[in-house]
Chains A and B, each alone.
Chain A
Amino acid sequence: MRISTFFYTIKQGIANIWKNKMFSLASIATMTACIFLFGLFYIIVTNFQSMVREAESGVAVTVLFDEGISQERIDEIGKLIRARVEVSRLEYTSPEEAWESFKDVYFKGNEKVAESFANDNPLANSASYSIYMNDISMQSTLVTYLSSLDGVRQVNRSETVANTLSDFNKLIGYISAGIILILLGVAVFLISNTISVAISVRKEEIAIMKLVGATDYIVRSPFVVEGVIIGLVGAAIPLGILYILYEKIIEYIGLNFTFISSMMKFLPVTAVFNTLVPVALILGVGIGYLGSHITTRRHLKV
């Protein structure tokens, strides 16, 4: 294809948008509405997931060791635990630290009583590892593994919290996949409908082009350019709106609902939009491209 033909089809695509202002506006509005809903939902879901992850990371599994275990064995067990994929962080608490912390809580005001234990740490066998996980649903597997380790006396965990968080995470995943699929379906249907109407208006034009000897490619290209531009604009508008709204809402909640903002940690704007911008743009351009490609196909058999 000649470069002049390439630029001609781009020029025609842009001219078509302008010539069919009403249809272009309707398509852009439809795309904007769909991608806005998609973006809104994405923001809610990612924030929810981040909050759940935050909650998960606070849940620890505690490992206590056999009496008289050597420090070398404790270190070895630490290495084995660190090597597990589901483990995100490991904290070691020595018997001395355990006793200090115990004293602070239970002997406050009775420091002299506590002093009497100075040379005989009652928690001498209470060295422990606190294990934080990156995937709470793997807790049972980890606990089974830990219990099987030589030198481990006891493994403490909170099964209810782990199960609730794990189920909650799964539920969010299913709901978000479902809603995103429905939204995409609605978007493709609406866009294809709008393009279909726009094309049926230009059916005669397509027929003339074909009779003059235009290839499917030349007939279709301006429509595809049109679809892609509508997709781009239809994705850029909701992204801009969501960006501004998200910043404002977080700022507003931070200022006016201190309790909520202390309970919920919202993701920073950049963290959300680093993924949302490319995904929404690809979605917009993809729907625009596919919508126009598929719809023109039906009218090309002249």
Chain B
Amino acid sequence: MISLEHVSKSYAAGIPALNDVCIDIDGGEFVFIVGDSGSGKSTLIKLLLKELDPTEGTISVNGYRLNKLKRRQIPKFRRNIGVVFQDFRLLKDRNIYENIAFAQRVVGESNRTIKKNVPQMLSMVGLAAKYRSLPRQLSGGEQQRVAIARALINEPKILLADEPTGNLDNKNAWEIMRLLEEINSRGTTVIVVTHNMEIVKAMNKRVITIQKGVVVSDEKGEIRDED
């Protein structure tokens, strides 16, 4: 599903943000990527989204070889990856319904499909009653759930979550993690970048640790039973 082979990334004349990273992630896995600030986690996410290109090495995601991906192919590639950020990144001037519907509009879904799918997704994240609210009228946990709903509406095979609990209290953080676990149980590959070691330890999943741009450990958690 995701493969990084000897990937390095250097920014102009600096120490490499990632250095000779090799990672393989199979379909349906739940993987934590942990590391200190500046360890290269965000660079890794940006490389997987093709926001950045590696200085060396090759990356394959979902059957796309990112090194060979043309600029005009990027939107289609990204539609197969759901992304969730620490700061939610919702469109502030649009209500919750429109925020989620937007992800469907960009893939050219009809209004009829959007009207059917968005309420279903809102129900799944427990926000059906708040569909007309603006992001600023919701709590951090609720905003993150909207972001997850938006990330999942197009049924991506991969969900990338960059510090999804970074701005949340403990209760909300656990709610989000349970939601991600549920999404993973439906077959979506989930990759979570986080600082929250309490959650990482408690969830007992595969953990890749990055320090100063190098993968220092890759510990398999308990293997989930697909059935």
Binding site for B on A (CB under 8 A): 1-2, 4-5, 8, 19, 204-205, 207-216, 218, 302
- Min CB gap A24→B, angstroms: 14
Contacts of B103 in A (CB 8 A): 212-213
Asked whether, in the complex, the Cβ of A213 is within 8 Å of the Cβ of B75, the reply is: yes
User: Interface size bucket, B side?
Assistant: 20 to 34
User: What per-residue 1/0 map shows which CB atoms of B43-80 lie under 8 Å from chain A?
Assistant: 00000010100000000000000000000100111110
> A215, B93: Cβ atoms under 8 Å?
no
A204 touches B79 (CB 8 A): no
Which of B75, B91, B92, B108 is the one whose CB lies under 8 Å from A1?
B108
Bound CA–CA A249/B103 (angstroms):
56
* B residues lining the A interface (CB < 8 Å): 49, 51, 72, 75-79, 83, 89-93, 102-103, 105-108, 110-111, 150, 154
Say yes or no: A213-B106 contact (C-beta < 8 A), given A19-B93, A208-B89, A208-B91: yes
Distance of A207 from chain B, by nearest CB (Å): 8
Pick the contact of B106: A4, A204, A212, A302 (CB < 8 A). A212
A209 to B154, CA, bound (A): 14
A145 CA / B111 CA spacing, docked (Å): 75
Q: Is the CB of A214 within 8 A of B106?
A: yes
A204 adjacent to B102 (CB under 8 Å) = no
Most chain B CB within a 10 A radius of its CB, from A5, A204, A208, A218: A208
The answer to whether A213 and B76 touch across the interface, beta carbons within 8 angstroms, is yes
- Give Cα A204 to B92, complex, Å: 10
Question: Known contacts A2-B108, A19-B93, A209-B102; can you find 14 more A-B pairs with CB under 8 A?
Answer: A2-B110, A4-B110, A4-B111, A208-B91, A209-B106, A210-B75, A212-B78, A212-B83, A212-B102, A212-B103, A212-B106, A213-B103, A213-B107, A215-B106
Closest beta carbon of chain A to B143's beta carbon, Å: 13
Contact yes or no, B105 A211, CB < 8 A: no
On whether the beta carbons of A5 and B108 are closer than 8 Å, the reply is yes
- Chosen A-B contacts, 19 in total, with CB atoms closer than 8 Å, are A4-B111, A8-B105, A205-B92, A208-B90, A209-B106, A211-B51, A211-B89, A212-B79, A212-B102, A212-B103, A212-B106, A212-B150, A213-B75, A213-B103, A213-B107, A214-B75, A215-B75, A216-B75, A302-B51
Residues of B within 8 A of A205 (CB): 91-92
Min CB–CB distance B178 → chain A (angstroms): 24
Q: Which of B92, B111, B154 has the largest count of A CB atoms less than 10 A from its CB?
A: B111
Cα of A247 to Cα of B49 in the assembled complex, Å: 61
Residue among B75, B107, B108, B154 with the highest chain A CB neighbour number at 10 A: B75
Give Cα A205–Cα B90 distance, bound, in whole angstroms.
8
Residues of chain B within 8 A of A19, CB atoms compared: 93
What is the distance, in angstroms, from A299's C-beta to the closest C-beta of chain B?
Answer: 14
- B227 shortest CB reach to chain A, Å: 32
Contacting pair B108 A211 (CB below 8 A): no
Residues of chain A with a CB closer than 8 A to B150's CB? 212
- Complex CA distance for A213 and B108, rounded to whole angstroms: 11
Residue of A5, A204, A216 touching B105 (CB-CB under 8 A): A5
Q: Please report the C-alpha to C-alpha distance between residue A296 and residue B61 in the assembled complex, in whole angstroms.
A: 28
- Within the assembled complex, what's the spacing in Å between the Cα atoms of A5 and B105? 7
A85 to chain B, nearest CB (A): 53
> Considering the chains assembled together, what is the distance between the CA atoms of A205 and B94 in angstroms?
11
Q: Name the residue on A nearest B49 (C-beta).
A: A211
- C-alpha gap A212/B141 in the complex (Å): 20
Question: B153 CB to closest chain A CB, in angstroms?
Answer: 9
Using known A-B contacts A19-B93, A205-B91, determine if residue A211 contacts B83 with beta carbons closer than 8 Å: yes
B147 to chain A: closest residue by CB = A208
CB-based closest 4 A-B pairs:
A213-B79, A214-B106, A213-B78, A215-B75
Chain B residues contacting A216 (CB-CB under 8 Å) are 75
Q: What is the bound-complex CA distance between A21 and B102, given in angstroms?
A: 23
Cβ contacts under 8 Å, B110 to chain A: 2, 4
Q: Name the distance in Å between B111's Cβ and chain A's nearest Cβ.
A: 5
Among A210, A213, A214, chain B packs the most CB atoms within 10 A around the CB of A213
Shortest beta-carbon distance from B136 to chain A in Å: 14
Q: Nearest-CB distance from A230 to chain B (Å)?
A: 18
Closest to B160 in A: A211
Contact B51 A204 (CB under 8 A): no
Which one of A8, A204, A211 contacts B78 once the chains associate, using CB atoms below 8 Å? Answer: A211
**A218:B51 contact, CB within 8 angstroms:** no
Residues of chain B within 8 A (CB-CB) of A302 are 51
Contact A204 B89 (CB under 8 A): yes
CA distance A39 to B92 in the complex (A): 40
Q: How far is the CA of A209 from the CA of B74 in the complex (A)?
A: 12
Would B106 and A218 count as touching, CB distance under 8 A?
yes
> How far does the Cβ of A258 sit from chain B's closest Cβ, in whole Å?
59
Which interface residue of B72, B78, B105, B107 has the most chain A CB atoms within 10 A? B105
Residues of A within 8 A of B78 (CB): 210-213
C-alpha spacing A215/B70, complex, angstroms: 13
